[in-house]
């Protein structure tokens, strides 16, 4: 199904099976706005795009031997004239019935956990883009010099994402360089 952000009008494709029955609040990846997404379910037997509700089951007719003609006529007229009973109004959803954790909602990450994750991702990218250079540099003992430009670019990105204070006051980036780029050696 397609979902449209009411804030920026961005359209996203969402698998209806991943939405819990009570719906979910989603965050737009384009503008960051939060909006509810309801689960749209079609009743069984209704084709997609068919807005008509399924027909009500026919009312059983009384046996002709037990009912007179006037009673049968009155019963038939009442069955045709009587509107179907209204659907019961949905009551408030009990709090206990909602899922404990929504697949779309995540708690705000701890800044230190986020900084560690970003540092490791940036260093992992260096390894992914230059695997041969890494192996040659480790063997030659020139890892620091050979990766100088990549390390500086990644450091600038790291500082931009986590902030100068957190970047300079924690060893997360250096630890990621040693653990991932230097394969556990303390080179940085």
Q: What pLDDT is recorded for position 46?
A: 40
User: Rounded distance, CA 63 to CA 10, Å?
Assistant: 60
Residue with tokens 């037990």: 66
Write the pLDDT tens digit of every residue in 89-148.
555 555 555 555 555 555 567 899 999 999 999 999 999 999 999 999 999 999 999 999
Dihedral sign from CA coordinates of 58, 63, 67, 68: positive
User: Rounded distance, CA 177 to CA 172, Å?
Assistant: 9
Q: What pLDDT is recorded for position 150?
A: 93
**What is the chain's mean pLDDT, rounded?**
76
Burial of 173 (0-12, 13-18, 19+ CB in 10 A): buried
pLDDT above 60 for 21: yes
Q: Report residue 31 as tokens.
A: 């503008």
Residue 10 near residue 31 (C-beta atoms within 8 A): yes
């Amino acid at each position: 199904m397609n979902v449209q952000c009411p804030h920026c009008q961005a359209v996203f494709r969402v698998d209806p099976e991943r939405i819990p029955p009570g719906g979910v609040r989603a965050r737009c990846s384009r503008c960051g706005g939060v909006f509810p997404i309801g689960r749209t379910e079609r009743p069984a037997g209704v084709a997609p795009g068919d807005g008509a509700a399924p027909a009500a089951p026919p009312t059983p007719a009384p046996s002709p031997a037990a009912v007179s003609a006037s009673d049968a006529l009155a019963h038939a007229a009442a069955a045709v004239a009587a509107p179907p009973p209204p659907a019961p109004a949905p009551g408030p959803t009990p709090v206990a019935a909602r899922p404990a954790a929504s697949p779309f909602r995540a708690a705000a990450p701890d800044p230190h956990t986020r900084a560690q994750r970003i540092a490791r991702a940036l260093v992992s990218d260096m390894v992914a883009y230059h695997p041969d250079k890494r192996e040659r540099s480790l063997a030659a003992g020139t890892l620091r010099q050979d990766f100088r430009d990549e390390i500086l670019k990644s450091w600038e990105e790291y500082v931009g994402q986590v902030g100068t204070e957190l970047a300079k006051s924690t060893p997360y980036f250096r630890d990621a360089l040693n653990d991932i780029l230097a394969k556990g050696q303390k080179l940085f």
